């Protein structure tokens, strides 16, 4: 019900900021957590970039996933919680626990505080990472019935962290959740309009393609979804009775190769995409690059692996209509150009 107070964890993040924008547009009061209150103006700037003046309808609380401090204050008086915050570094951590512990323990902290404060429902941002990895190849798209095997050969720290955090959340609700309800959104790669220099790691792909930072396209395949759809699904899951106890894959359509994304950018962005490479790179060249770039190491297990997923449940249960792959990729590139976050635009700004 509009006017109610909603907590969004991780307001500095790409998905978190878009959730705040849509909640404010829908008439809700919003509180958001940041690790440091010095980031308040950064968040307000992103919200304004999204077309909303937050004013006094947006308030801030300092809270960190690794500490109990601040969470009781964060959830006090809230009807709902969107738990969006989760660690996602661009490089591989020294030890997987650097990701797993804050993701899992952070989710449990938020759920415990929400239960104790009488929150109606928590919507958790999980990931396709908790659905489509560590398994034998299937002759069908992945669905919400599937779970990543955290002990699978190809499962890296980020994938494991999302899987274990979501499993811990469902276990908490089953064992000690009381009246608290849980719904989960599992996005694939999140693209769409960037609101500032803080954006998801998946956006780096489009940025690097547009900047010509990649010599070619690695043989990678992944799903795309527009951040506006991800945020909208969070709000639908918050209020739709049918979403209670359910998880929902968020994806626009068929998984794409990097080469398909590159050709899409060439087609829709005109001269701005002049640096975008369209040649597919042999795997051995990507492996050589990984020796120098830790960020490239993360993609090695996925080279040449074709996955797919189904958005049928979100369409059927939530009545959701997704923006197309082309729309969300193009919106990403357009926003990077508009905000001066590409090499050419930075030179012009200077």
Number of Cβ within 10 Å of residue 54's Cβ equals 18
Per domain, the residue ranges of the chain are 5-195+224-253+308-323
Report the candidate in 272, 253, 255, 293 with the shortest Cα–Cα distance to residue 209: 272
Residue 288 is predicted with a pLDDT of: 92
pLDDT tens for each residue of 57-105: 999 999 999 999 999 999 999 999 999 998 666 566 788 898 899 899 9
What are the start-end ranges of the E strands in the chain? 5-9, 29-34, 58-62, 80-83, 121-125, 181-187, 189-191, 221-222, 224-226, 247-250, 256-257
The secondary element (H helix, E strand) that includes residue 197 is none
Using an 8 Å Cβ cutoff, are 283 and 186 in contact? no
Residue 345 is predicted with a pLDDT of: 58
Report the candidate in 72, 77, 78 with the shortest Cα–Cα distance to residue 109: 72
Token pair for residue 101?
A: 């512990």
- For the range 241-245, what are the long-range contacts, defined as Cβ-Cβ under 8 Å and sequence gap of 24 or more? 242/317, 242/318, 243/123, 243/183, 243/317, 243/318, 244/121, 244/181, 244/182, 244/183, 245/173, 245/181, 245/182, 245/183
User: What secondary structure does DSSP assign to 8-65, as a single string?
Assistant: EE-TTSHHHHHHHHHHHHTT-EEEEEESSGGGHHHHHHHHHHTT---GGGEEEEE--T
CATH node for 5-195+224-253+308-323:
3.40.50.720
Residues 6+ apart with CB under 8 A from 27: 2, 3
Question: Which residues is 83 bridged to in the sheet?
Answer: 9, 124
Number of Cβ within 10 Å of residue 255's Cβ equals 23
pLDDT tens for each residue of 241-295: 999 999 999 999 999 999 999 999 999 999 999 999 999 999 999 999 889 887 7
Per-residue pLDDT at 350 exceeds 50: no
Which residues form the catalytic set? 162
- For the range 131-138, what are the long-range contacts, defined as Cβ-Cβ under 8 Å and sequence gap of 24 or more? 131/186, 131/249, 131/309, 132/307, 132/309, 133/159, 133/163, 134/159
* CA gap 7, 147 in Å, rounded: 28
Per-residue pLDDT at 347 exceeds 80: no
pTM: 0.95
* CA gap 281, 299 in Å, rounded: 13
Backbone angles phi, psi at 222, to 5 degrees: -155, 165
Of all residues in the chain, what percent carry a pLDDT higher than 90?
Answer: 81
Residue 142 is predicted with a pLDDT of: 96
């Amino acid at each position: 019900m509009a006017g109610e107070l909603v907590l969004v964890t991780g307001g500095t993040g790409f998905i978190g900021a878009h959730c705040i924008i849509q909640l404010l547009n829908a008439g809700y009061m919003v509180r958001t957590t940041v690790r440091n209150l010095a980031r308040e103006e950064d968040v307000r700037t992103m919200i304004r970039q999204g077309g909303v003046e937050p004013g006094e309808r947006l308030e801030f609380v300092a809270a960190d996933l690794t500490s109990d401090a601040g969470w009781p204050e964060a959830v006090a008086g809230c009807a709902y919680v969107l738990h969006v915050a989760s660690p996602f570094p661009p490089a591989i951590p020294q030890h997987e626990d650097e990701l797993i512990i804050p993701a899992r323990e952070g989710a449990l902290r938020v759920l415990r505080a929400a239960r104790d404060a009488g929150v109606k429902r928590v919507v958790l941002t999980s990931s396709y990472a908790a659905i489509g990895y560590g398994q034998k190849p299937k002759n069908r798209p992945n669905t919400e019935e599937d779970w990543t095997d955290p002990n699978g050969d190809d499962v890296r720290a980020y994938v494991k962290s999302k899987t274990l955090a979501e499993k811990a959340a469902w276990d908490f609700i089953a064992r000690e959740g009381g009246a608290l309800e849980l719904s989960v959104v599992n996005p694939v790669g999140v693209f769409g309009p960037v609101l500032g220099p803080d954006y998801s790691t998946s956006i780096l792909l489009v940025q690097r393609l547009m900047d010509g930072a990649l010599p070619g396209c690695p043989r990678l395949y992944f799903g795309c979804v527009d951040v506006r759809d991800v945020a909208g699904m969070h709000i639908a899951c918050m209020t739709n009775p049918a979403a209670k106890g359910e998880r929902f894959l968020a994806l626009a359509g068929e998984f794409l190769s990097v080469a398909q994304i590159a050709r899409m950018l060439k087609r829709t962005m005109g001269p701005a995409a002049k640096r975008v490479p369209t040649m597919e790179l042999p795997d051995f060249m990507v492996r050589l690059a990984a020796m120098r770039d830790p960020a490239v190491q993360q993609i090695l297990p996925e080279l040449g692996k074709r996955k797919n997923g189904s958005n049928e449940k979100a369409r059927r249960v939530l009545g959701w209509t997704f923006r197309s792959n082309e729309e969300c990729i193009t919106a990403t590139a357009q926003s990077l150009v508009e905000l001066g976050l590409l090499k050419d635009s930075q030179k012009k700004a200077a």
